Amino acid sequence: MIQIIDLQKSYENTTVLKGVTISIEPKAKYGLIGRSGTGKSTLLRCINALETFDSGRIEIDGTDITKLNKKELKYLRRDIGMVFQDFSLLGSLNVYENIALPLKCWRYKNQAIDTRVKELVEVIGLKDKINFYPRELSGGQKQRVAIARALALNPKILLCDEATSALDPKTAQEIVMLLNNINKELGITLITVTHQLSVLKNICDEISILENGKIACQGKTNEIFLKKPEALVNLMGEKELSLPTKGCNIEIYITEENSHTPIISDIAQKTGANFFVLDTNMEAFNQKYIGSVVLHTSENDTSKIVTYLNANQYVWHKL
Ligand code: ADP
């Protein structure tokens, strides 16, 4: 469990983190989003103690990281892997040597290094590229190698700082799948900083939105995208919808619980009401489609639809 409590951090005269509090459960997939310069990367670097902070606390599995001595800090960092947007591979080393680097630093025996590197190239699907140099790899392949290197010492936590931002959407999606597998198969806590909302939706179960060094909003990813609080609208920009003034406009929420029900066709078949679909805001979250649908109907047909929605306990409101 990672607990960040009332964290404050300044660089010279600028306060970058202004009292950030976040709890992250073991094996969670947690996301940090916000505009550029809101302190996300700084927060990540505080978690692995690459950065100090002015006040507040970070506890990892109950240990206050500011209380650790030099040797204990070294072990803490061993338990926390990190990947970056620019991959940070060493160009003069091949895939095998890049992945082996942390193991060599920790003075593992050659046989143990060999076994671990060969396991990891299987995990990242690059067995056939083991002797290639970074210049011979695509962006996605380089990020896979960086992920393998970050996993070399069996960390409990993996910090991803814009890990997919330099990749095209399809390659980014493949890295997202790899990170999801790593979380599921190896039970590693993932903390992801990204400005790509599609990445957040496909990796993170929970998120915090940072604004100006403060948490503007936090909670379950799908609930936040469904409710669209101001902090998310500020990031995404608001969609303008001009609605008809006659008749009635009803927004129906498709939540995780009812995402498997064909609500709209049920309304048509079971109520006999006539309506138009004016707008849909559906989003994919881990293979489930949730969001909202806006219907326009006459005053007469409104009561039929509303009665049906209430009887089935669907969430809706008039616009
Ligand atoms: P984000 O990851 O949200 O883009 P950062 O954590 O990188 O934000 O940066 C937050 C603010 O702190 C920015 O204004 C940045 O210029 C400043 N900053 C980050 N690192 C340093 C540093 N080492 N020295 C001085 N200012 C820094």
Q: Is residue 23 pLDDT above 80, yes or no?
A: yes
Confidence of residue 218 (pLDDT cuts 50, 70, 90): very high
Mean pLDDT value of segment 22-42: 94
Q: Give me the helix-helix angle, 95-105 and 139-151, nearest 10°.
A: 20
* Cα 39 to middle of ligand 1, angstroms: 6
Mean pLDDT value of segment 148-177: 93
pLDDT for the residue 166: 87
Mean pLDDT value of segment 134-139: 96
Q: Is residue 267 pLDDT above 90, yes or no?
A: yes
For ligand 1, atom 15, name the residue with the nearest CA: 37
The preferred substitution site among 36, 42, 191, 210 for testing ligand 1, maximizing ligand atoms within 8 Å of CB, is 42
Atom of ligand 1 nearest to the CA of 161: 2
Q: Is residue 15 pLDDT above 90, yes or no?
A: yes
Confidence of residue 103 (pLDDT cuts 50, 70, 90): very high
Q: Is residue 77 pLDDT above 80, yes or no?
A: yes
Residue 134: Cβ within 10 Å count:
18
Q: Is residue 86 pLDDT above 80, yes or no?
A: yes
For the CA atoms of 301, 307, 309, 314, the dihedral, rounded to the nearest 10 degrees, stands at 150
Mean pLDDT score of the chain: 92
Sign of CA dihedral 66, 188, 143, 4: negative
Phi, psi of 16 (to 5 degrees): -95, -45
* Cα 15 to middle of ligand 1, angstroms: 10
How far is Cα 289 from Cα 55, in angstroms, rounded to an integer? 41
Q: Is residue 187 pLDDT above 80, yes or no?
A: yes
pLDDT for the residue 286: 67
pLDDT for the residue 238: 67
Atom of ligand 1 nearest to the CA of 36: 4
* Cα 216 to middle of ligand 1, angstroms: 18
For ligand 1, atom 22, name the residue with the nearest CA: 11
Assess whether the C-beta atom of 81 lies below 6 angstroms from ligand 1.
Answer: no
Assess whether the C-beta atom of 11 lies below 6 angstroms from ligand 1.
Answer: yes
Confidence of residue 197 (pLDDT cuts 50, 70, 90): confident
Residue with more model confidence, 101 or 241: 101
Q: Is residue 70 pLDDT above 80, yes or no?
A: yes
pLDDT for the residue 17: 97
Model confidence, pTM: 0.83
Assess whether the C-beta atom of 75 lies below 6 angstroms from ligand 1.
Answer: no
Confidence of residue 150 (pLDDT cuts 50, 70, 90): very high
Assess whether the C-beta atom of 125 lies below 6 angstroms from ligand 1.
Answer: no
Percent of the chain whose pLDDT exceeds 90: 75
Mean pLDDT value of segment 7-15: 94
Partners of 251 in beta bridges: 294, 317
For ligand 1, atom 23, name the residue with the nearest CA: 11
Mean pLDDT value of segment 256-270: 89
Q: Is residue 284 pLDDT above 80, yes or no?
A: no
Q: Measured in whole angstroms, how far is the alpha carbon of residue 206 from the centre of its chain?
A: 7
pLDDT for the residue 13: 87
pLDDT for the residue 225: 85
pLDDT for the residue 315: 87
- Quick one: which of 250, 256, 254 has its CA closest to 282? 254
pLDDT for the residue 130: 97
Greatest mean pLDDT range, 127-136, 262-271, 291-300: 127-136
Mean pLDDT value of segment 262-284: 90
Q: Is residue 92 pLDDT above 70, yes or no?
A: yes
The preferred substitution site among 16, 18, 33 for testing ligand 1, maximizing ligand atoms within 8 Å of CB, is 16
Assess whether the C-beta atom of 16 lies below 6 angstroms from ligand 1.
Answer: yes
CA-based angle 210:167:40, to the nearest 5? 15
